[in-house]
Protein backbone atom coordinates (compact mmCIF):
# COMPACT_ATOMS: atom_id res chain seq x y z
CA UNK A 1 0.00 0.00 0.00
CA UNK A 2 2.88 2.35 0.81
CA UNK A 3 4.43 1.68 -2.61
CA UNK A 4 1.12 2.43 -4.30
CA UNK A 5 0.98 5.78 -2.50
CA UNK A 6 4.53 6.71 -3.47
CA UNK A 7 3.93 5.75 -7.12
CA UNK A 8 0.70 7.76 -7.16
CA UNK A 9 2.46 10.79 -5.67
CA UNK A 10 5.27 10.64 -8.25
CA UNK A 11 2.76 10.21 -11.08
CA UNK A 12 0.75 13.22 -9.89
CA UNK A 13 3.84 15.40 -9.55
CA UNK A 14 4.98 14.48 -13.07
CA UNK A 15 1.59 15.22 -14.63
CA UNK A 16 1.07 18.48 -12.75
CA UNK A 17 4.56 19.71 -13.62
CA UNK A 18 3.89 18.96 -17.29
CA UNK A 19 0.52 20.69 -17.49
CA UNK A 20 0.32 23.60 -19.93
CA UNK A 21 -2.92 25.41 -19.06
CA UNK A 22 -5.26 26.00 -16.15
CA UNK A 23 -8.01 23.77 -17.58
CA UNK A 24 -5.73 20.76 -17.65
CA UNK A 25 -4.49 21.65 -14.17
CA UNK A 26 -8.05 21.73 -12.83
CA UNK A 27 -8.77 18.33 -14.39
CA UNK A 28 -5.68 16.90 -12.69
CA UNK A 29 -6.73 18.41 -9.37
CA UNK A 30 -10.12 16.76 -9.66
CA UNK A 31 -8.58 13.44 -10.72
CA UNK A 32 -6.23 13.30 -7.75
CA UNK A 33 -7.82 15.35 -4.97
CA UNK A 34 -11.48 15.54 -5.94
CA UNK A 35 -14.42 13.72 -4.40
CA UNK A 36 -13.73 10.55 -6.38
CA UNK A 37 -10.02 11.25 -6.78
CA UNK A 38 -7.22 8.76 -6.40
CA UNK A 39 -6.03 10.14 -3.05
CA UNK A 40 -9.59 10.11 -1.72
CA UNK A 41 -9.86 6.43 -2.63
CA UNK A 42 -6.64 5.78 -0.72
CA UNK A 43 -8.10 7.51 2.33
CA UNK A 44 -11.05 5.13 2.13
CA UNK A 45 -8.66 2.16 1.91
CA UNK A 46 -6.80 3.16 5.09
CA UNK A 47 -8.94 0.69 7.03
CA UNK A 48 -7.34 -2.16 5.06
CA UNK A 49 -3.82 -1.19 6.16
CA UNK A 50 -2.47 -3.19 9.12
CA UNK A 51 -2.81 -1.36 12.44
CA UNK A 52 0.94 -1.04 13.03
CA UNK A 53 1.48 0.63 9.61
CA UNK A 54 -1.67 2.75 9.65
CA UNK A 55 -0.09 5.73 11.42
CA UNK A 56 2.87 6.05 9.06
CA UNK A 57 0.62 5.45 6.05
CA UNK A 58 -1.77 8.21 7.18
CA UNK A 59 1.07 10.65 7.78
CA UNK A 60 2.58 9.90 4.37
CA UNK A 61 -0.83 10.19 2.72
CA UNK A 62 -1.53 13.59 4.28
CA UNK A 63 1.94 14.87 3.42
CA UNK A 64 1.43 13.73 -0.17
CA UNK A 65 -1.94 15.47 -0.42
CA UNK A 66 -0.51 18.71 0.97
CA UNK A 67 2.45 18.51 -1.42
CA UNK A 68 0.12 17.98 -4.39
CA UNK A 69 -2.14 20.87 -3.31
CA UNK A 70 0.87 23.18 -2.94
CA UNK A 71 2.26 22.10 -6.30
CA UNK A 72 -1.09 22.76 -7.99
CA UNK A 73 -1.42 26.22 -6.43
CA UNK A 74 2.18 27.12 -7.35
CA UNK A 75 1.67 25.92 -10.92
CA UNK A 76 -1.60 27.87 -11.15
CA UNK A 77 0.15 31.05 -9.97
CA UNK A 78 2.96 30.50 -12.48
CA UNK A 79 0.46 30.04 -15.32
CA UNK A 80 -1.43 33.19 -14.32
CA UNK A 81 1.79 35.17 -14.08
CA UNK A 82 2.98 34.05 -17.52
CA UNK A 83 -0.43 34.84 -19.00
CA UNK A 84 -0.50 38.31 -17.47
CA UNK A 85 3.04 39.01 -18.68
CA UNK A 86 1.99 38.18 -22.23
CA UNK A 87 -1.16 40.28 -22.00
CA UNK A 88 0.29 43.34 -20.24
CA UNK A 89 3.08 43.90 -22.73
CA UNK A 90 3.05 47.45 -24.03
CA UNK A 91 5.16 48.82 -26.87
CA UNK A 92 6.37 52.31 -26.02
CA UNK A 93 7.59 52.92 -29.57
CA UNK A 94 4.07 52.80 -31.04
CA UNK A 95 2.43 56.15 -31.82
CA UNK A 96 0.01 57.41 -29.22
CA UNK A 97 -3.74 57.79 -29.38
CA UNK A 98 -4.92 61.07 -30.90
CA UNK A 99 -8.19 62.33 -29.45
CA UNK A 100 -10.95 63.41 -31.79
CA UNK A 101 -11.17 67.18 -32.24
CA UNK A 102 -14.79 67.30 -33.34
CA UNK A 103 -16.78 70.47 -32.66
CA UNK A 104 -19.97 68.78 -31.58
CA UNK A 105 -21.54 70.18 -28.45
CA UNK A 106 -23.27 68.25 -25.76
CA UNK A 107 -27.03 67.91 -26.26
CA UNK A 108 -27.65 69.43 -22.83
CA UNK A 109 -25.94 72.68 -23.81
CA UNK A 110 -28.24 73.35 -26.81
CA UNK A 111 -31.20 74.81 -24.83
CA UNK A 112 -28.83 77.09 -22.91
CA UNK A 113 -27.33 78.34 -26.12
CA UNK A 114 -30.76 78.96 -27.65
CA UNK A 115 -31.89 80.85 -24.55
CA UNK A 116 -28.85 83.12 -24.55
CA UNK A 117 -29.14 83.89 -28.26
CA UNK A 118 -32.84 84.79 -28.12
CA UNK A 119 -33.71 88.45 -28.53
CA UNK A 120 -34.91 90.12 -25.38
CA UNK A 121 -38.50 91.35 -25.21
CA UNK A 122 -39.00 94.97 -25.85
CA UNK A 123 -41.62 97.14 -24.30
CA UNK A 124 -43.43 99.42 -26.69
CA UNK A 125 -45.61 102.32 -25.81
CA UNK A 126 -48.83 102.53 -27.50
Q: What is the pLDDT of residues 82-118, one digit of tens each?
A: 877 776 666 677 777 776 666 666 666 666 666 667 6
CA distance linking residue 104 with residue 7, whole number of Å:
72
CA distance linking residue 65 with residue 62, whole number of Å:
5
Are 90 and 34 in contact, with CB atoms under 8 Å apart? Answer: no
Considering only residues 115 and 41, tell me which one the structure prediction assigns the higher pLDDT. 41
**Can you give the residue ranges of every domain in the chain?**
2-87
**Which three-class secondary structure state does DSSP give residue 2?**
helix
CB-based burial label for 26 (10 Å; 0-12, 13-18, 19+): middle
Task: State mean pLDDT over 68-88.
Answer: 86
The whole-model pTM stands at: 0.64
Considering only residues 100 and 32, tell me which one the structure prediction assigns the higher pLDDT. 32
Are 45 and 92 in contact, with CB atoms under 8 Å apart? Answer: no
Amino acid sequence: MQEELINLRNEAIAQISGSKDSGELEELRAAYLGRNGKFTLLVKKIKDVPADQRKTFGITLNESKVAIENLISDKKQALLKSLSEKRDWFDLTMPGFKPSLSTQKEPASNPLKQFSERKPRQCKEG
